[in-house]
């Protein structure tokens, strides 16, 4: 079998192209993971990406099946293999001018053996990885490393010497090992599976400070974010780094100064300020406040204001001057 196959967008195999994060049908995804091959999905409405394999069914229909009488499946298959051997695979290809049988003799050296599926079914089972990065087995939860979970991900689970071994379904690499629990409803967790949050956050914090040239107030800004938005601290810091990649340094520093002076300690507030200043590059920036000359011309028009005694005289019955 090959390491990668090319398929068209058939509903039996593909649910959605999903902007590159392809969603396969449950059955095909299970088959793909069990067999261990990669998939190259053809783009929708793009015949050139399908290659010369596009017409293989039509070639079989008209070249073999058109004038033959079907008796039973066994004889039909045998006659088809005979036809492939003496005709289809022995003639030079119309485009490549190469003989398929000779090309296959070279290419098959790079193919992988088909997995022994009966061994997997006999000695192990598959389990879904849950959102909390655990695997349910015999009414207990066993932990896997914190970043293992992906939607629809299955792992191979097997018992060996009173241990539960969790393996990658494709590579068979060991993901986790646990001593089997005899109880029910327990969480068996390996402390090594818990991520060290501080090291990653500290690195991100340093990257943000470097990106903003250690501008005065940046340490306080990041510290408040860390305290108030602890669960989303990574997302907040990464958003600031994304802004640094998309906008000029001057725009970001002006936006940061505005947020810092107005105590807007949030990456989303910084993003909004950056987007504003990016759209108004010519707007004067004095004391981080809007002044009259920053407004459009129609907003700078002032209405005439009458003195209050005019209205007082009207109330008292006097004549308006």
pLDDT at site 289: 47
Splitting the chain (321 residues) into consecutive groups of 10 residues, what average pLDDT does each group show? 89 86 88 89 78 75 89 91 91 87 91 70 73 90 86 88 88 90 88 63 83 84 83 82 85 87 87 86 48 55 76 69 51
pLDDT at site 212: 81
Closest by Cα among 59, 79, 78, 58 to 68: 79
E-strand ranges in the chain read 4-7, 14-16, 23-24, 38-41, 125-128, 134-137, 140-143, 154-160, 163-168, 174-179, 187-188
C-alpha torsion angle, residues 227, 229, 235, 238 (rounded to 10):
-40
What distance in Å separates the CA atoms of residue 273 and residue 67, rounded to the nearest whole number?
Answer: 73
Compute CA distances 213 → 65, 257, 297, whole Å. Answer: 73, 13, 37
What distance in Å separates the CA atoms of residue 214 and residue 206, rounded to the nearest whole number?
Answer: 9
Give residues with Cβ within 8 angstroms of 157, minimum separation 6. Answer: 124, 125, 126, 127, 135, 137, 164, 165, 166, 167
pLDDT at site 184: 87
pLDDT at site 177: 92
What distance in Å separates the CA atoms of residue 28 and residue 16, rounded to the nearest whole number?
Answer: 13
Domain boundaries, the chain: 4-110, 117-193, 197-299
Question: How far is C-alpha 125 from the chain's CA centre?
Answer: 27
Our CA angle for 112, 117, 122, nearest 5°, is: 145
pLDDT at site 284: 43
Task: Determine if the pTM surpasses 0.95.
Answer: no
What distance in Å separates the CA atoms of residue 220 and residue 320, rounded to the nearest whole number?
Answer: 60
Closest by Cα among 41, 45, 24 to 33: 24
pLDDT at site 165: 92
């Amino acid at each position: 079998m090959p390491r990668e196959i090319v398929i068209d967008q058939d509903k039996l195999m593909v649910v959605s192209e999903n902007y590159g994060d392809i969603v396969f049908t449950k059955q095909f995804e299970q088959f793909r993971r069990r067999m261990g091959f990669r998939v190259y999905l053809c783009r929708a409405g793009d015949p050139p990406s399908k290659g010369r394999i596009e017409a293989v069914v039509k070639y079989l229909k008209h070249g073999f099946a058109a004038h033959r009488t079907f008796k039973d499946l066994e004889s039909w298959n045998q006659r088809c293999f005979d036809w492939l051997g003496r005709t289809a695979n022995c003639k030079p290809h119309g485009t490549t001018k190469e003989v398929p049988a000779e090309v296959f003799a070279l290419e098959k050296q790079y193919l992988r053996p088909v997995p022994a599926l009966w061994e997997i079914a006999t000695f192990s089972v598959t389990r879904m990885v849950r959102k909390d990065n655990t695997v349910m087995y015999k009414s207990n939860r066993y932990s896997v490393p914190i970043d293992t979970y992906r939607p629809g991900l299955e792992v191979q689970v097997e018992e060996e010497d009173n241990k539960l071994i969790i393996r990658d379904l494709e590579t068979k690499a060991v993901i986790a090992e646990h001593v089997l629990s005899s109880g029910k409803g327990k969480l068996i967790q390996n402390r090594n599976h818990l991520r060290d949050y501080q090291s990653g956050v500290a690195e991100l914090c340093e990257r943000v400070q470097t990106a903003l040239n250690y501008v005065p107030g940046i340490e306080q800004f990041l510290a408040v974010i860390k305290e108030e938005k602890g669960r989303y601290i990574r997302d907040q810091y990464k958003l600031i780094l994304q802004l640094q990649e998309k906008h000029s340094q001057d725009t970001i520093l002006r936006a940061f100064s505005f947020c810092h002076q107005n105590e807007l300690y949030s990456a989303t507030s910084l993003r909004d300020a950056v987007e504003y200043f990016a759209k108004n590059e010519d707007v004067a920036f004095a004391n981080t406040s809007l002044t009259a000359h920053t407004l459009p011309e129609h907003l700078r028009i002032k209405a005439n204001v009458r003195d209050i005694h005019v209205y007082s005289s009207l109330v008292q019955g006097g004549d308006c001057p």
